[in-house]
Amino acid sequence: MIALRIFAFLALAYSVQGGADLELVYKLLDCCKRAILDGVPTVPVPSHNPLLIPHNVSFNGATFGADFNATLANIVWYGIPDWELKVGKQLSEDTDAHAVFDFDIYWKSFNMSMDYSLQYHVGFVEQNSHGQIILNWTHTDWVGTINFTKPGFGLKEEVSSLDLTWTVKDIDTHVTGLGLLDAGAGALISTTLTNYLNHVLGTGLSPLLIGRLNDFWLANSTRVPILFDWCDSNQ
């Protein structure tokens, strides 16, 4: 998951450094942005400037009376490092065992491009199409509250809870390769993806993120020190 690094830094700065909670949040997020801009292969954190997704995505379904199989390839995602952070409120004291923050992470725009291949059937007629899809997202927000246990209190260091809502204002989609159906396909993708992000994925990410942070990051004793060493030596 792309922006997991943001929450990883929020939760893991305390594993290697001490200091006032809010001060550490801003320090580690600065490190985070530099890490995903350049990439840190030894962690590993790939460069997200842009993010090249190395595998294809395949799916199937039915719409407008046609069954289809589709594959997306050469997916490139622009704009991930260009976030603005608003820590709405620190809900805990620096002396507490748990650091709790409200947050609002905002992206003005995202851009994605990908190639597609499409096979669809209408009755007994089979058609094949190939082309490109370009997505332009505007006004994306990750808003919520994170609670993580700090070291030094005799407690297990982990993300205790994470409430996250993902919303996007608008997605404009351009499709080529379908002829007269290009505009209709673009409108359908825009509507479907916007609804999915705002109403399905947007409210269902928290368990996935908590598991990823605790299992991938906190369970490994070397990833975080390597990351902070990289940031300290690349000021």
Collect all residues with Cβ–Cβ distance below 8 Å to 38 and sequence separation of at least 6: 47, 49, 234
Q: pLDDT at residue 177 above 60?
A: yes
For residues 81-91, give the mean pLDDT: 82
Q: Is 39 left (phi over 0), alpha (psi -120 to 50) or beta?
A: left
Please measure the distance between the N-terminal and C-terminal CA atoms of the chain and give it in whole angstroms: 26
pLDDT tens-digit readout, 26-53? 777 788 888 889 898 888 888 999 999 9
pLDDT tens-digit readout, 53-78? 999 999 998 877 778 899 999 999 99
pTM higher than the cut 0.95:
no
Q: How many CA atoms lie within 13 A of 153 on its CB side?
A: 17
Q: What is the CATH number of domain 4-233?
A: 3.15.10
pLDDT tens-digit readout, 105-129? 899 999 999 999 999 887 778 889 9
